[in-house]
Amino acid sequence: MNPLKHVAIIMDGNGRWGIKYKNSRNAGHKAGLNTVEKIIKESIEQKIQYLTLYAFSTENWRRPKEEIKFLFNLLENFLINKINDLHKQNIKLKIIGGKKFSKKLNNLLNKAEKKTCTNNKLQINLALNYGSKTEILNAVKKLIKNKETINEKNLNKNMQTKNIPDPDILIRTGNTKRLSNFLLWQIAYSEIFFEKKLWPAFNKNDFRKIIKKYKKIKRNFGSI
């Protein structure tokens, strides 16, 4: 049975779910947040140590302003209403990506990170304004600037995921088989699961099924 430390998720399909059932993409984003809560709960149940959630990509700025505004509002309210809850559950929140948001959201994110920084049950890495290519480029630039040797170990040290083991599992919901600029370096040996269900429809049983399958996979890492 494979050990499981880190699950990364591309939470895709909110917009389509919203249009289909509520005639509004934003309603899908709202419903998607419920799935996030369910999956956090199940991650604790499964004793997973790291959960990395792709919430907003560097390319998602191309969306209509109203949708972006709605998404960040949703996140603000989530932080205001739920951070104490997360803290009580001994959850650590870490943001990966660029923190270039409104003053209010930046403050909330910083506060949430600070409040939860010594928690050690589950670490949630929330990927916000995250792009893997930018992350890799920044890491390489730092190495060059500091005149450090460019090797795998040093690059890892300069990634936003430093000190976090690579994902064992990558899940993408929403019936699309692509990576959309997510953790390209870190998923070199992750087991990838493409899930047909849209993110708001994804549930703990779907999650459990994936974990069960993962545990039985023969992971080679190049060996036999």
Place of tokens 């036999």: 224
Q: Tell me the site size for ligand IPE, rule CB under 6 A.
A: 16
Asked if 12 is an active-site residue, the reply is: yes
Are 177 and 195 in contact by the 8 Å Cβ rule? The answer is: no
Contacts with 160 (C-beta within 8 Å, 6 or more apart), sequence order = 96, 97, 130, 135
Nearer to ligand IPE, 15 or 167 (CB): 15
From 35, 39, 41, select the one nearest 13 (Cα to Cα).
35
Nearer to ligand IPE, 140 or 184 (CB): 184
- Kindly write out the interface string for residues 57-76 of this chain, putting x where it contacts ligand IPE by CB under 6 A and - elsewhere: x--x----------x-----
Are 95 and 109 in contact by the 8 Å Cβ rule? The answer is: yes
The closest residue (CB) to Mg ion is: 12
Are 27 and 192 in contact by the 8 Å Cβ rule? The answer is: no
Q: Is 131 in the site for ligand IPE (CB under 6 A)?
A: no
Asked if 60 is an active-site residue, the reply is: yes
- The helix (H) or strand (E) run that includes residue 88 is helix 65-88
Output the CA torsion sign for 70, 74, 75, 80.
positive
Q: Out of 6, 7, 10, 12, which residue is the one contacting Mg ion (CB under 5 A)?
A: 12
The one of ligand IPE, Mg ion, none whose footprint includes residue 53, by CB under 5 to 8 A per kind, is: none
Give the whole-angstrom CA distance, residue 35 versus residue 27. 13
Q: Which stretch binds ligand IPE (CB under 6 A): 14-22, 35-43, 189-197, 204-212?
A: 14-22
The one of Mg ion, ligand IPE, none whose footprint includes residue 16, by CB under 5 to 8 A per kind, is: ligand IPE
Q: Is 10 in the site for ligand IPE (CB under 6 A)?
A: yes
Q: Out of 12, 42, 168, 206, which residue is the one contacting ligand IPE (CB under 6 A)?
A: 12
- Residues carrying an active site annotation: 12, 60
Q: Which residues bind Mg ion (CB under 5 A)?
A: 12
